[in-house]
Structure 1
Amino acid sequence: MHNGMGNLMTRISAVAAMMAAAAARAAAEAGDAPRVDTLRKAMEVGGWTMWILLALSAIGLFLILFFIFTMRVGVLAPHRFVGEATDACEAGDLGALQALGQSGNCAAARILSAAAEQIAISRQFDYAAVRDAVEDEGGRIASGLWQRVQYLLDIAVVAPMVGFFGTVLGMLDSFAGMQTEIGAVRPESMAQGVAKALITTVAGLIVGITAMILFAVFRGRLNQIVARLEETCSLLLRKFIGAYLAKAEARKG
């Protein structure tokens, strides 16, 4: 079995060496191997797989711009909303907090609204129920944010696979160029196939590695944003609970 594997590897190495030599000879003799010195030329040589990689790059760029403008503490918990919520919480005004939560169009509003609704439907103040409501809503928000960032990781996984698929197509073109006419190998066809294989491989790796790096960057940024959001909402709820319970005790007295 080991001898069979050794023979197979030897044959593969021989074929690869012959293809590389033929491609180099074609480039040296006639200059038929395509020169890839522009993006347009790379797209032509790489074939339709390059268009898929270009589309993945465009999607990745759109996601990056979208994250930059939307994945900020000022968007998830706007300063104006936090100021109004602070006033309502310090006053212990449940009605005002409910109104803010329903009218606000941000993550902090959804969390505070979940807490206010839980307090409103409870006959007695139940801290555990309020905490569970806040954690559930916060978990849904965090899950949605993570799902967005996950798209970058998907691109990082798919792009190299598309590039390797283009590699296979290029190698198939090279093998097709090994067909002979009166015993002569067509080196120019082999050179074009090798160029296609290399271009798609490099392009797929560039897109994939870039997406992976950006995924790591936005993952760290998202962790910080979620922590800031939790801190802000926890502070507001502590203020509200203290003022709300104080008002309830004052009414009893």
Structure 2
Amino acid sequence: MNMYDALLAGGLLMLPLVGCSLFATLIILERLWSLRIARIAPPHLGQEVCELIQQGQVNLYWLESHSPLGGILAAGLRNARLGQDQVRARLQEAATAVIHDMERFLSPLGTIASITPLIGLLGTVVGMIQVFAVIVSAEGAEQTAELAGGISQALVTTAAGLTVAIPALMFHRYFQRRVEDITVRMEEQAGQVVEFLAHHGSELTLAERRDLRGARP
């Protein structure tokens, strides 16, 4: 049975399953591209920022455009003169926005993983209803084509629902873990910058005199 025959055998319920499959595929490809550690939280960025602060050459505009983590660090540095509490608060606010962006589309992907088996089960029920309707009819013994059609719909929709749900669930869990891992990396680097600011007040003062707009070395 080729793909076209399977779609026909599954009946109308194959349409939402195909739609869910296409939508899940788009989400997975987009998240694989977006949730790259090198794009969101480049390694050693926190250390590089600390060195730039020490040299009084932090360019906040460059830092903001560098990466989401850079935007978080820049938000904290803009409030450095107000004290560590304000720095931590701004870092937390900026990090919350970045985490929210990283979790984009994960809820729809989880929904697809949950509903596609149910759609497949619904197709199974509809197919079996058709089978029993043929069986109880007077000509049921002779209508083998209709019997086969009902059984095919029952089996095809179930298989299609599971085929969509299993990879959707796997990638949903994978992306959740990836978001957690990136969040931990961002927290570590942000903490490194906060600790540096707490122990190097003189360097920060120098950076403030230059308005934190020095050129990147």
Superposition TM-score, scaled by structure 2 size: 0.79
> Unaligned stretches of 5+ in structure 1?
1-36
| Conserved? CA contact 2:45–2:189, under 8 Å | no
- Deviation of residue 139 (structure 1)? 1.9
Matched, 1:208 2:170: no
- Deviation of residue 45 (structure 1)? 0.4
Match of 1:32 in 2: none
Secondary structure of 1:221's match? helix
**Kindly, what percent of the aligned residue pairs are identical?**
23
Partners of 1:177 and 1:127 in 2: CA distance:
75
Partners of 1:140 and 1:79 in 2: CA distance:
20
Matched, 1:172 2:129: yes
Q: 1:63 aligns with which of 23, 27, 31?
A: 27
Partners of 1:86 and 1:73 in 2: CA distance:
20
Partners of 2:51 and 2:113 in 1: CA distance:
45
Secondary structure of 1:147's match? coil
Partners of 2:113 and 2:165 in 1: CA distance:
4
Secondary structure of 1:63's match? helix
Secondary structure of 1:184's match? coil
Partners of 1:105 and 1:170 in 2: CA distance:
55
Pick 1 or 2: higher relative contact order, CA cutoff 8 A, min separation 6.
2
Partners of 1:81 and 1:113 in 2: CA distance:
12
CA RMSD of aligned residues (A): 2.8
Secondary structure of 1:199's match? helix
Partners of 1:80 and 1:230 in 2: CA distance:
13
| Conserved? CA contact 1:98–1:113, under 8 Å | yes
- Deviation of residue 247 (structure 1)? 5.1
Partners of 2:25 and 2:156 in 1: CA distance:
21
Matched, 1:107 2:51: no
Match of 2:52 in 1: 88
| Conserved? CA contact 2:87–2:194, under 8 Å | no
Matched, 1:138 2:95: yes
CA gap 1:99/1:238 in 2 versus in 1, 3 angstroms: farther
Match of 1:30 in 2: none
| Conserved? CA contact 2:127–2:153, under 8 Å | yes
- Deviation of residue 53 (structure 1)? 1.4
Superposition TM-score, scaled by structure 1 size: 0.69
CA gap 1:71/1:208 in 2 versus in 1, 3 angstroms: same
What is the letter of the counterpart of residue 106 of structure 1?
S
Q: 1:199 aligns with which of 156, 175, 185?
A: 156
